[in-house]
Amino acid sequence: MKAENQSKAFKDKVADIDKKEKFDKDKESGFVAAYGPNTNYEPLANNNDNLKMPEGNKYFGFMHAHLDSKDGIVKIFSPADIFTFLTTCVRNAESKGSMSDAYAMVITPDKLSMY
């Protein structure tokens, strides 16, 4: 995360999500990080209000917003977020890069949470 936090592209994606208009939407939004010559950020697909990682093993991290617009939303990692981190990000980082590459972020109006 130290290297990511120094990257302008990473900071720009965090800033894109960390906005009131993102928290007020009907559906979550976010980005997935992929290996490449430089880290590539792609939008996460939202299917029935569930964010879905793209197919493939090049994805090692993701960041997304939990909404403020819906009642009962817990503004921490959901079980699905943790499952995705462990089964996709960690596994892909292990096979394509380094375990230290894997991350997951939830951005809420109240705070930022990271794995």
Alpha-carbon distance 2 to 17, whole Å? 19
What is the structure's pLDDT at 32? 97
**Host domain of residue 64:** 2-114
The confidence band for 11, taking pLDDT boundaries of 50, 70 and 90, is: very high
Counted domains in the chain: 1
Over residues 43-52, the mean pLDDT reads 81
> Mean per-residue pLDDT for 47-72?
84
Per-residue pLDDT averaged across 54-62, rounded? Answer: 95
| Torsional sign, CA 89, 94, 96, 101 | positive
CB 63 within 8 A of CB 107: yes
pLDDT of residue 69: 67
Which pLDDT does position 12 carry in this prediction?
A: 95
Whole-number Å distance between alpha carbons of 109 and 69: 11
pTM assigned to the model? 0.87
